[in-house]
Each structure stands twice: as structure tokens, then as C-alpha cells.
A = this chain, B = another copy of it.
Amino acid sequence: MIKLTHEENLIADRIKVLKNAAGTHSPSIFTVLEKIPELEIKVDACFLSNPYATDLFVEHLKEKLIDTGKIRDVLEFYPSQNAVIAELLSNYLGINKQSIFIGNGAIEIIQAILHNYTRKKIVVNIPTFSSYYEFLKNNTEVVYNKLLKEENFELNIDAYIELVKKEKPDTIVLINPNNPNGGYIKYKNFIYLIEELSFVNTIIVDESFIHFAYEDYSFEMKSIAHLVESFQNLVVVKSMSKDFGIAGIRAGYGVMSKDRVSSLLKNGYLWNSSGLAEFFFRLYIREDFLKEYEHVRVKYIRETQTYFNKLSKIKELKVYPSLANFALIELLDGTKSDEFVSTLLIRYGIYSRTCNDKIGLDGEFIRLASRTSEENATIIHTLNEIFS
């Protein structure tokens, strides 16, 4: 069991103050370093993104915007309107442009859907991404469906369907793979689930981590976004922050019925992209970029799964199965998750996420992201040292 020194405890207290100020999220690495400059962060394993994709994007940005001087235009002028960018994506996604809604990050789409389409009652699986209950308007009833530790936090589809049929919510949310555990619902099970739940007014499926999931070793990703045409109650939310490693740009899109898109655009969301987000979206639909991206996506998945395997060999940790780019980890040696996360940060410069603010988790849990293979090796090395 880990024990912090008195001095380390003082820093740990300051970290807690920042964490509390950030609510049920982690303070950004910038905030942490600004407020506690004596910390040295070597690995940000709090942050859920593919660093190889960031490299790829930075390369294209350098070549196409910085070296050409075109960055000035991207900064100076208004980006295109929402519908113009939706039209760009339409061909690539194979989805009608009127069913695509561009967001300033997925979080804006989540907010728009919950504020506009969730009325009385929502079913949320826990543990989950907290915005799905925190962003609700007042007076919305939340029914929490607890994913069970004994079932590795995987969704029990039949029990879930039964619960939804009983509760009759107007909205349900499924994150696939789920955050913070990485549990994945297979494509064919999803179809079954959606067909069974056609009476639910709004089915939100958050595919922000879908690029890291796979069903066989072709590593093909299986989005259900195209089902929106058949299922008018489906809303697919997609962040670009994780798979493309560009959280700072704030880019996301939602796929939903034409009526919903037009009603959202009717009185808002006009220039909610930025110049850089538009640049990204224009890159995202290019065949040459996608080919390069596919390479770093599969490379990252392979390294991530290797990393999870190595983590799972440490007997003081229980690593829950994940098809995302992070793993939910239970501390089995009696250490409190807060203390463990503080030690990792203060003593080893590894920023990880305590999960003690996640409702629906009984026990001491942390979440570790997968980063570059070198960074993952540092994490493994450090954990082995801690538990040796």
C-alpha cells in the first residue's frame, strides 16, 4: 500500500482543490501545470486520444497551412456555416447532408440533444461520462442502470431492454465503447437492441471511441450512424478529439433525423465550428489522409491492447476488458484511488484519472489511457516498480 510523505500530501491537497473545481472531469494539463508549477508531467494518461493521429494532423497542418502561410486565412475569416460543413462530410459518411449536425466538439451536440429532446425521463448506464446526467435540464428524472462489476461492466442487453420497457423513458444513452470502462456492444447486438426499443423517442449512441473498437482482426470499425435513415429516433454522437487526437480544435458531429437537424439549425448553431475545425473536416474526407490515418489507427489499437495485457499482469491491479483506448483499473491492494493517482503524478510524473467521482463504481478505481508505446512502457515500468 502506498503512503505519501507530508510534503507530497500538501501537493496532493492542492491537486484535490483543482479536481473539485473541475467538477466530474479532470483539470486540463495546462491548469494543473499553471497552478502547481513544481509538478513535472511526463505522461498524460488522463487524456484519451491517439497521439499518432495528432502527429499525423500536425504534419498536414504544417504542410498545408503553416508552410504556405494559409493559416492566416483560417484565423482571420469566419468558418463556413454548419450546413456547408455537413455537406462536405455527407459523401464520405454516406449519409444525407440534412441528417448531419456539426458541433463544437461532441459535448455541444450532447448538450443540444439533452436540452432540446430529453423531456421527462432518461436511462443512463453507470459508470458513464458524467455530462449525460449533469447536462440534463431541471426536472428530468434519471434512471441509472448499474453495469455490474461481476459482469465486467458489460451491458446485459436483455436485462437492459427489459428495464427500458418497464421504465418507458423518452431518452436512453449508450456509449459504445463505454467510458470509463471500454465495454463494447457488437454491431449485431446493437441492431437487435434498437429494433426492440423503437418506442423510445431518443436513442443517443455516443460513438466517440468507436475507432478503437473492432470485432475481428481486420480491425474494421462498425459505426451504426447510417441506421439513422431507418431509425428516426436514433442520434449518433461523434467526437473527433479521441481518434484524431485533436481535442484542442473542438470538432464533432451528430447524425440524426433531418427534422432534428433542421430544428436545431432553425434558431442557432450558425458558426459553431472554427477555421481549424473546418480545415480538419476538409482533411478528414480526403482519401490520402484517411489512408495514412487508417495506418496509425490500427497501429495504436495493437499497441493499446498489448499495453492492456501488460497491465493485467500486475497482480495488485484488476484491468477490466476494454475495446477503447483506456482501461478501467481496480486497485486490489487497499490503496485509495485518490492517493494512488496523486502518487503517480507527484512522484512519477504520470497523470491518471481517479474514478472516485464516477457514480456506480464500488471500490477503488482509476482509469489509464493508452499513449505512445514509449509512454505506455513508462507507465508499465513505473507500476511494476511501485508494486515490486
Contacts and interface: CB of A to CB of B under 8 A. Distances in A.
A376 B360 CA distance: 63
Nearest to A267: B135
A27 B28 CA distance: 36
A250 B104 CA distance: 10
B274 A274 contact: yes
Nearest to A51: B76
Nearest to A111: B268
Contacts of A94: none
A37 interface: no
A22 interface: yes
A107 B250 CA distance: 16
Interface in A200-252: 241, 245-250
A142 B270 CA distance: 21
A272 B108 contact: yes
A337 B138 CA distance: 48
Given A28-B80, A131-B270, A134-B267, 7 more contacts: A27-B84, A44-B77, A75-B246, A104-B250, A111-B269, A248-B274, A250-B273
Contacts of A73: 30, 248
A115 interface: yes
Contact of A25 (B27, B81, B134, B245): B81
A78 B47 contact: yes
User: How many copies, total?
Assistant: 2
Given A66-B66, A77-B30, A137 B267 contact: yes
A190 to B, nearest CB: 28
A206 to B, nearest CB: 15
B107 A104 contact: no
Given A54-B72, A72-B58, A77 B247 contact: yes
Interface centre among A58, A71, A275 (most CB of B within 10 A): A275
10 closest residue pairs by CB, A with B? A248-B275, A111-B268, A78-B247, A75-B248, A250-B274, A54-B76, A135-B267, A104-B104, A74-B248, A28-B80
A83 interface: yes
A156 interface: no
Interface of A: 21-23, 25, 27-31, 44, 47, 49, 51, 54, 57-58, 61, 66, 71-81, 83-84, 104-105, 107-108, 111, 114-115, 131, 134-138, 241, 245-250, 267-278
A124 to B, nearest CB: 14
A66 B71 CA distance: 11
Given A134-B267, A267-B134, A272-B108, A248 B79 contact: yes
Nearest to A272: B104
A127 B278 CA distance: 31
A346 to B, nearest CB: 20
A115 B116 CA distance: 11
Contacts of A270: 25, 107, 131
Contacts of A30: 73, 77, 79-80, 278
A297 to B, nearest CB: 16
Contacts of A267: 111, 114-115, 134-138
Contacts of A61: 71, 75
B28 A245 contact: no
B76 A245 contact: yes
A64 B210 CA distance: 35
Contact of A271 (B74, B80, B81, B105): B105
Contacts of A111: 267-269
A246 B28 CA distance: 24
Contact of A247 (B54, B76, B104): B76
